[in-house]
């Protein structure tokens, strides 16, 4: 069953956690734990799960995306929409 990435994703809350977790479930699918949601979103493949997680994380600033394997080891960790500080620290005019 193809994943519909156009579905409405949860609204964001400034006080909600800024971490999206992707974990394998007991049935071999992938669960995405989204902040503020009671139940995880489940996808058949890791690619689909990462696509949904990236779409959701892109709406937050910043948001940490963490992907775990079956042994809860971190496979991938990324900070999305990180705000960059000027390297020099001087004001531009």
- Determine the pLDDT at residue 19: 87
Residue 46, in any domain of the structure: yes
Q: Which domain holds residue 66?
A: 19-78
Token pair 């007991």 in the structure block, residue:
26
Q: What pTM does this model have?
A: 0.67
Residue 9, in any domain of the structure: no
Q: For the chain, give the number of residues.
A: 93
- Determine the pLDDT at residue 80: 82
- Determine the pLDDT at residue 82: 66
Domain count, the chain: 1
Residue 47, in any domain of the structure: yes
Residue 62, in any domain of the structure: yes
Residue 68, in any domain of the structure: yes
Residue-level pLDDT, tens digit, the chain, 93 residues: 444 444 444 444 443 458 899 999 999 999 999 888 889 999 999 999 989 988 888 777 788 899 999 899 999 999 887 665 545 555 544
Residue 58, in any domain of the structure: yes
Give Cβ neighbours of residue 65 (< 8 Å, ≥ 6 apart).
19, 20, 22, 50, 53, 54, 57, 76, 77, 78, 79, 80
Residue 83, in any domain of the structure: no
Residue 84, in any domain of the structure: no
């Amino acid at each position: 069953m193809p994943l519909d990435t156009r579905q409405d994703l949860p609204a964001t809350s400034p006080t909600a956690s800024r971490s999206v977790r992707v974990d394998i479930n007991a049935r071999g699918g992938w669960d995405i734990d989204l902040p503020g949601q009671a139940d995880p979103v489940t996808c058949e493949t890791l690619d689909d799960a990462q696509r949904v997680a990236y779409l959701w994380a892109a709406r937050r600033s910043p948001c940490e995306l963490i992907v775990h394997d079956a042994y809860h080891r971190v496979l991938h960790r990324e900070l999305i929409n990180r705000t960059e500080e000027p390297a020099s620290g001087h004001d531009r005019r």
